[in-house]
Structure 1
Amino acid sequence: MNLDEAIKRVRSDMGLSQEALARELHVGFTSVNRWENGHTKPNQIARHALIKLCKENNIEPELIEIIEKIR
C-alpha cells in the first residue's frame, strides 16, 4: 500500500470526509485531496498531526507506519 491509499484508508476508517479530515489537521481541503490523489505529500507539520490523530483513534499500526515513512 502506498501513501495516498493509506491516507484514504485512514480517513475512511475514521468515517471522515476529506473536508472533515482537513479541519482536524488544520489544512485546506485541497491539501487532503492532493494527498489522496498522489499529487503531493503532507508536509512535516501535517504529517505529525496526522500520525497523532491516527494514534488517538486507534488506527491500524501498519497505516501509521506508512505515514511515518514519508520523506
Structure 2
Amino acid sequence: MLMSLSSDLKYVRQKLFLTQDDFAAQIKVSVATINRWENGRSRPNMTAMKNLKAFCEQNNLPFEKLESEWLKEV
C-alpha cells in the first residue's frame, strides 16, 4: 500500500538510531501512529508532515523523498 513512504519514514527514524517512542515524541505523535506509518497502514497528515519537515531540517536529513512519496498518495 504505502510501502515506499513507510520504508522512508522508518529510514529517517533509524538513521538517527531512534526508537519509535523517541521518534514519536520528536514529531509530536503517538507511538501507535509511528507504528501504523511504518507498517503502511496509514500515512502522516499535513500537521505531521510539517513536523517531519522541521525534524529533518533540524537533523540535516533529506525531506524531499518523504514529501514526494507523501504527495503521490494525496
TM-score exceeds 0.5: yes
Look up the SS of the partner of 2:11 in the other structure. Answer: helix
In the TM superposition, residue 66 of structure 1 has moved relative to its aligned partner by: 2.2
Q: State the partner residue of 1:18.
A: 20
Give the alignment's TM-score, normalised by structure 1: 0.87
What is the percentage of aligned positions where both structures have the same residue? 37
Deviation of the 1:28 alpha carbon: 0.5
Q: Over aligned residue pairs, what C-alpha RMSD do you find?
A: 1.3
Matched, 1:66 2:68: no
Q: Matched residues in 1 for 2:4 and 2:58: separation?
A: 22
Which runs of structure 2 are paired with 1:31-70 in the superposition (5 Å)?
Answer: 31-59=33-61, 61=62, 64-69=63-68, 70=70
In structure 2, the residue corresponding to 1:16 is in which secondary structure?
coil
Q: How many residues of Structure 1 are paired with residues of Structure 2 in the alignment?
A: 68
Query: Which letter does structure 1 place at the counterpart of 2:47?
Result: I
Q: Report how far residue 15 of structure 1 moved.
A: 1.3
TM-score by length of 2: 0.84
Q: Which runs of 5+ in 2 are unaligned?
A: none
| Shift in Å, 1:45 | 0.3
Runs in 1 of length 4+ with deviation above 4 angstroms? Answer: none
What amino acid maps onto 1:65 in structure 2? E
Unaligned runs of 5+ in 1: none
